[in-house]
Structure 1
Amino acid sequence: MTDDHFSLGVITGTHAPTLSDDDGLLEAALADRGVGAEPVRWDDSTVTWTDYDGVLFRSCWEYPTDLGRFRRLLAELQRTDIPVCNPLPAIRWNMHKSYLVDLAEAGVRLPPTTVIEAGSDVSLTDILDRHGWSEAVVKPAIGSFSRDVRRVSRGDVDDAATRFRDILASSDVVVQRFVPEITAGERSVVFFAGTYSHAWNSLTPDDDVTEFEGVDTGYEPPAAIREQAAGVLDAARDHLGADPASLPYARVDYVHRDGALLLMELELIEPFLGLARGANAADRFADALTAYYPNC
């Protein structure tokens, strides 16, 4: 525990058991505001969460590998009266990529997307035929680190079929129509308490859109794109029945299509926020958090 007047448990994991470099910047900004940030692994069963005044999800990137334990953590936090950020309803909703279908139904522009339920007797060829797609991206409905994400086309669908069936045997799968604009990069826009903070463009090699080979930190989205990204958050909050301040952090990932935003992901659980990539970004995040937590 810290000696500060407000103690924040920052949820970490195997890949970053202490605070990541990014969260180290946040830690310093919070300390200036009298908040002590202490890393706490999400999979540590010995943690007493009521020792903290608030909890912040950050680098629990490997939670999809042990969903049972992660869901038990969420249930345990639910039983306490500790404020959690982002809030638990948003965490639960954002865990499963079916949230993309919810956003599409709310009018958010994204690639055509279908969710295949675990155990379904359907092949990749069936899906491509049904939707008339020549290429698609296949990914687990709950996943991170681009694990098991694969671009498939009619020419190589047989190569991916076995892995697709293996994943589908135990978990839901999301299949999206491939968007070639991804080869120009996936843009990430960061918001704190609903207000735009900063952005960057992650570059991918043409032959593997699941990997990133460079980052354009000088990327600045035009005003129209920032408004459209904010509209994604509006749709999420409407779905959750939440107010703007209820999501202290969010990252909107998108590609450009015809001069407009095409959503790839909305990250509300453990996104890298690139705090070093935006001037005073750590201070803006710290301000959003101190406004969010009662008695902070």
Structure 2
Amino acid sequence: MILIATCSEYPHPTPNLEALVSALKAQGMDAAYLPWKTTPLETFAAAEAALPLCCWDYYDDPGRFLAWIDALEAKGARLLNPPELLRWNFRKTYLLEMAEAGLAVPKTFHLPEANRQAIAQRMEAEGWSVAVAKPVSSQSGHGVQKIDWSNIDRWPTGEMLLQEYQHDIGALGETTMTFIDGTFSHAVRRVLKAGEWRANAQYGTTYERVTVSQDVIDTAKSYLDLLPQTPLYARVDGLVRSTGFMLMELELIDPYLYLEFAPGSADVMVRAVLQRLG
């Protein structure tokens, strides 16, 4: 049994998940999807493999999600991607590691105990009139804020990442590249709603399959090359500019892989799963 962990808000499969489950069953695999929060841990531990591909509600209790990963590992469960990659990707401070390696990411600062004064000092030092504040652990845009001097009374506090705002994101959209077992599969562009800066579904984003150059693919692959092991699945999200590609997020936990946009990609994913299982 291959079990895909989902969130409680999606009792039915998304097109991406439906494509994967259908491809698994076509290969003779018993496949199902169950919510991670309400399904007994033993159910996932007993599966041949558990994929946390749709755990999109962990943002409201990140500690519980980490404990779930730890408990599955302790029970000997086969988690794909592996627990060590999930934990590493869980904290967006990985962006600082990418920057230290010389790869392009938005200028980012980790503020362990941010307050208005600390944020203001950093923005003044950088000459920023606007910035983006992100929770260190979150997903699907939850808790992300665009801040400027006019909304200082609503600036967040606590641990966060403070990033340089990318003024061209509205025009460029965000390009997502799906990699399966380290190999590029397909790219989808998130087209932002007019006036919007967030590339998430709840903000009116639409999607289109796009072709990206080999240079962009190679650059996207360079972020994965920094990982200690090749992930079964990964989504590299960023901005494609004439000057090159800039990473916004590297998704190794629960990325929507857009398999329905690329015929045959679900079959490639299944073959990679089976290879991992030996």
Normalising by the residue count of structure 2, what TM-score does the alignment of the two structures yield?
0.91
Structure 2 equivalent of residue 59 of structure 1:
54
- Per the alignment, in what secondary structure is the counterpart of residue 265 of structure 1? strand
**What is the CA deviation profile of residues 14-56 of structure 1, one whole-angstrom value per residue up to 9, with x for unaligned ones?**
1224433211110111112222112122112623133211111
Cα distance change on mapping 1:14 and 1:45 into 2, 3 Å: closer
| 4+ long deviations beyond 6 Å | none
User: Equivalent residue of 2:128, what SS?
Assistant: coil
2:228 aligned with 1:222:
no
Shift, 1:80, TM fit:
2.2
Give unpaired runs (5+ residues) of structure 1: 1-6
The 3-state SS of whatever aligns with 2:197 is coil
Shift of 1:207: 2.8
Residues 1:252 and 2:236 aligned together = yes
1:181 is aligned to 168
- Whether 1:83 and 2:78 are equivalent positions in the alignment is yes
CA contact (8 A) 2:56 2:140 kept: yes
1:234 aligns with: 225
Segment drifting more, 118-127 vs 75-84:
118-127
SS of residue paired to 1:218: strand
CA distance in 2, matches of 1:262, 1:106: 13
- CA root-mean-square deviation: 1.9
Shift of residue 215, structure 1, vs aligned partner: 3.2
Q: What is the deviation of 1:174?
A: 1.0
Q: What is the number of equivalent residue pairs in this alignment?
A: 273
After the TM superposition, which residues 143-154 of structure 1 pair with which residues of structure 2 at under 5 Å, given as runs?
143-154=138-149
C-alpha separation between the residues in 1 aligned to 2:66 and 2:105? 28
Q: Deviations over 1:107-140 (max 9, x none)?
A: 2111100111146674432220122222211111
Structure 1 residue matching 2:209: 3-state secondary structure = coil
Deviations 1:242-279 (A, max 9, x none): 2x3xx111000010234300110000000111111112
Percent identity at matched positions? 26
C-alpha distance in structure 1 between counterparts of 2:194 and 2:131, whole Å: 15
Matches within 5 A, 1:66-215: 66-118=61-113, 122-154=117-149, 156-161=150-155, 164-165=156-157, 168=158, 172-183=159-170, 184-211=172-199, 212-215=203-206
Distance in structure 2 (CA, Å) of the matches to 1:127 and 1:37 = 49
Change (3 A) 1:45 1:282: closer
State the partner residue of 2:274: 290
Partners of 2:270 and 2:168 lie apart in 1 by 34
**SS of 1:90's equivalent?**
helix
Structure 1 Cα separation of the partners of residues 260 and 32 of structure 2: 20
Task: Classify the secondary structure of the residue corresponding to 1:84.
Answer: coil
Q: Secondary structure at the match of 2:65?
A: helix
Amino acid at match of 1:158: I
User: Distance in 2 between the 1:153 and 1:257 partners?
Assistant: 25
1:12 touches 1:18 (CA, 8 Å); kept in 2? no
Unmatched runs of 5 consecutive residues or more in structure 2: none
Give the Cα–Cα distance (whole angstroms) in 1 for the partners of residues 122 and 51 of structure 2: 39
Name the counterpart of 2:3: 9
Q: What is residue 43 of structure 1 aligned with on the other side?
A: 37
Q: Is the 8 A contact 2:45 2:78 kept in 1?
A: no
Amino acid at match of 2:23: A
* Alignment correspondent of 1:4: none
Deviation string, structure 1 residues 87-117 (Cα, Å, up to 9, x no partner): 1011001111101111111221111001111
Is the 2:191–2:208 Cα contact (8 Å) retained in structure 1?
no
Alpha-carbon distance in structure 2 between the residues aligned to 1:203 and 1:291 = 35
The whole-number CA distance in structure 2 between the counterparts of 1:42 and 1:118 is 31
Instruction: Give the corresponding residue for 1:261.
Output: 245
Q: What SS does the corresponding residue of 2:30 show, helix, strand or coil?
A: strand
| TM-score, structure 1 normalization | 0.86
